[in-house]
Structure 1
C-alpha cells in the first residue's frame, strides 16, 4: 500500500513540474487530485491497521484475573523484538526497559540509598558489548566473555544496569560504607 502511495506522490510531483513548465493549470489540478488520493489511501490504510490490531487483541481491553490494567499486555508485547504479523519489529517502550536476552542474568533491584552511593563511585565494573548489564570481576556469568572495564558511574550514565547474580550495586555500596566507617 505504501509503495502505491509513493508512486502517486511521485506522479503528483512530476505533474506539478509539468504544470510549471507548460503553464497549464490542468496538470496542477490533476497533481492536487493525485495528492488527495494518496492522502486518502494513507488514512484508509491506517484505519484498517488500527481495526486489525483491535480485533486481534480484544482480551487486552479488560483487566485480567491478576488485576493488570488494560493495555499492560500491549506494553509487555512491545518489549519483544519478534516480528509482528505485518513483518515489522515492535519498538522498545519509552521507559528504557530492555528485553532480557536468553541466558543473560536479570537486573539487580537496587534501593535508592545504594543507587545514590554507586552513582558517584569511580570503581571499575565490567561490561560485555551488546549486553545491558555491568558486573563485578568475579561474576560467574562473565566466564570467558570479552569484557570492557568502565567506572560504575560511566556504566550507569551509558545506560547499563546491575547484574542480579553478582549484585554490584549492593556490594559496591557496602564496601564504600565500610571504607567510610573505617576512616572514622
Structure 2
C-alpha cells in the first residue's frame, strides 16, 4: 500500500504539472483525485503495518495456545478484560485477576507529572457534590479540582461550579480535600437554614 501511495503521489504531481501547463481543469481534478487516493492508500498501509507489528510483538505461546492476553487491544487503547470462569465465583464483586501469575497494571496508566492523588469519595457523596454550585478551581489539562489556595493548584486556574467540574471529568484533589470541605459546608448551611 505504501508503494501504491507513492506511485499515486507521483501521478498526482504529473497531472498537476500537465494541468497547469495546459490550463486543463480536467487534469487538475484528476490530480486532486489521485492525491486523495494516495492519502487513502497511505492510511491503509500504515494501519496494516501497525497491525503486523502488533501481531509480531504478541507472545508466541499465546498465539499458539489460543489464549488471549488479559489486555485486549481495542481501537488503539489497551482495555483490561476479565477472564474468570463462572465456577470460580466467590460471592465478591469487582475485578478479579485471571488464573495464573498476577498482572502488573501500573504500566497501563500513564503517570501524570506532579499531580496530586485524587481524593477518594463514596458514590453517594460524589452524587451530592455533582448537585452543588459551590466554586472550585481547575487548571486546563490537569485532572483535579481544588479549593482556593491549594498548594497543588499550579498553572492558570479558572473557577467553575463543582457540579460542572465533576461533569467535565475533574476529580477532587487529595491534598486540599475539596469534597470533604464542600460537603461539610453544605451540611452547615443546611442545618443553619433549618434552625433559623
CA distance in structure 2 between the aligned counterparts of 1:41 and 1:141, rounded to whole angstroms:
45
Structure 2 residue aligned with 1:56:
57
Within a 5 Å distance, the mapping from 1:1-184 to structure 2 comes to: 5=5, 8=8, 11=11, 14=15, 46-58=47-59, 69-71=70-72, 75=78, 99-142=110-153, 145-184=155-194
CA distance in structure 1 between the aligned counterparts of 2:155 and 2:12, rounded to whole angstroms:
55
CA distance in structure 2 between the aligned counterparts of 1:124 and 1:178, rounded to whole angstroms:
17
CA-based RMSD of the aligned residues comes to 4.2
Structure 1 length normalisation: TM-score?
Answer: 0.54
Structure 2 residue aligned with 1:82:
none
Instruction: Give the C-alpha shift of residue 135 in structure 1.
Output: 0.2
Q: Is the 8 A contact 1:114 1:170 kept in 2?
A: no
Instruction: Give the C-alpha shift of residue 102 in structure 1.
Output: 0.9
CA distance in structure 1 between the aligned counterparts of 2:155 and 2:50, rounded to whole angstroms:
43
Instruction: Give the C-alpha shift of residue 164 in structure 1.
Output: 1.9
Unaligned runs of 5+ in 2: 25-29, 64-68, 80-108
Instruction: Give the C-alpha shift of residue 181 in structure 1.
Output: 3.2
CA distance in structure 2 between the aligned counterparts of 1:75 and 1:114, rounded to whole angstroms:
30
Unaligned runs of 5+ in 1: 22-27, 63-67, 77-97
CA distance in structure 2 between the aligned counterparts of 1:161 and 1:2, rounded to whole angstroms:
44
Instruction: Give the C-alpha shift of residue 12 in structure 1.
Output: 7.0
Instruction: Give the C-alpha shift of residue 128 in structure 1.
Output: 2.4
Instruction: Give the C-alpha shift of residue 103 in structure 1.
Output: 0.8
Size of the aligned set, in residue pairs, is: 142
